[in-house]
Structure 1
Amino acid sequence: MKSGLLKHLCIGVGLLGAAMLTGCANRPKPLYHWGNYQPQVYEYFKGDGKGHEEQIATLEENLQKVRANGESLPPGYHAHLGLLYIKAGKEDQVKQQFETEKTLFPESSSYMDFLLRKFKK
């Protein structure tokens, strides 16, 4: 009788200890701060959402928050912002956004160069 009770007590203590250790584990910090980027891309492709100026303002606001917190933006963020600037007619900022995308994500260089060539035409 004692061995059965002792066995259940040991199992209970072991499970309690495992639960406590798991509960204290820290979650790893995400690599990128996505914020409202994904809904903005969806709105852009859906075409019946916010206007280009409003989307730009939302993404620029998020950009400032991310920089202030020392976080990183996801791949494509600056490229998408550049495309919005094209639609809004803010040509001076298009090249800056595409160049920033190339700098942060060198694997996008060939595509950003392609977009810059198309933009110049």
Structure 2
Amino acid sequence: MKTLITPWLSVKNGAQAVVFYKAAFGATEVYRMDAPDGSVIARLSVDGAEFWVSDESLDNMSPLSLGGSSARMIITIADPDTLFARALKAGATEVYPISEEHGWRIGRLVDPFGHHWEIGHPLDK
């Protein structure tokens, strides 16, 4: 078994977050549990890269409740321009546009739940 680090995003309104990540990044549901109170725990996959999403809880607050986040997600993909545009169309907000800097073609956006995503790929040297 290889070692993986898989992020778990806490959000307000997990059901809406799952819909957003499907529309923005083409995510698929690998696992989903819906609680009677409407909260959701879901494992999502974007071309095999997995992450978890759930409604915030007492010890796992969302960036919206905290007033910011201490981490960013990075999606490394061959065509960052297309995925970036797709995420904006789905409701993300641009932090900075796709450009070439620091050896990457990359841009940054924030999703409606307060999580920051950098989308890009390293440039050939």
- TM over 0.5, yes or no? no
Please identify which structure carries the higher helix content: 1
**Which TM-score band (shorter chain)?**
under 0.3
* TM-score using structure 2 length: 0.22
* TM-score using structure 1 length: 0.23
Greater RCO, CA 8 A, separation 6+: 2
Tell me which structure has the larger Cα radius of gyration: 1
